[in-house]
Amino acid sequence: MASTTRGHQFIIRSSRELTDDEAARLEEKLRQELATFGLEHYEVVGRRRKGMELAPRQRQIITLVRDGLSNREIAQHLGISEQTVKNTMMGIIQKLDATNRTDAVLEAIRRGEIELGSGVMHRKAKERAG
């Protein structure tokens, strides 16, 4: 009988903002400690600086962009104007230092702001097909 291994994710949040030097030292100590468990292969998903997190509405909108909704569809879904969606997206793109919507979604996932998923997109595809 084959045995399966589940992957685990660990998220570490500090109670205060770390300097770049402190963050690098902490990462090195974690790397050494993980190696004692035989975990030489791991991925640092990203570092978020305090104040650079997305606001709840920004997270909501970037999640809907991730799911494949257009600005018009997002506006209808949230009951806001399409211009408000566009303005919010520009703020998201700037905050994430992205170049476009797709890059913003990828960066938000990389930083842990949103999870990889496509629930709404699947519903939209079903609606179009059926």
pLDDT digits (tens, 9 = 90+) for 34-43: 788 777 666 6
By CB atoms closer than 10 A (0-12, 13-18, 19+), residue 119 is exposed
Q: Which domain holds residue 19?
A: 8-44
Computed over its alpha carbons, how large is the radius of gyration of the chain?
19
* pLDDT over 50 at 118, yes or no: yes
Residues 70 and 122 in one domain: yes
> Which helix (DSSP H) or strand (DSSP E) does residue 5 occupy?
none
More confident call, 19 vs 129: 19
Instruction: Please give the average per-residue pLDDT across 64-80, as a whole number.
Output: 95
Give me the residue label for tokens 């991925």: 43
Question: Does 3 fall in a domain?
Answer: no
Residues 37 and 12 in one domain: yes
Distance CA 63, CA 115 (A): 8
More confident call, 24 vs 12: 24
Dig out the tokens for 9 from the structure: 């994710």
Residues 69 and 119 in one domain: yes
Residues 39 and 92 in one domain: no
Residues 63 and 104 in one domain: yes
- Look at the chain and report how many structural domains it folds into: 2
Kindly report whether the global pTM for this prediction surpasses the value 0.75: no
Residues 32 and 84 in one domain: no
Residues 20 and 40 in one domain: yes
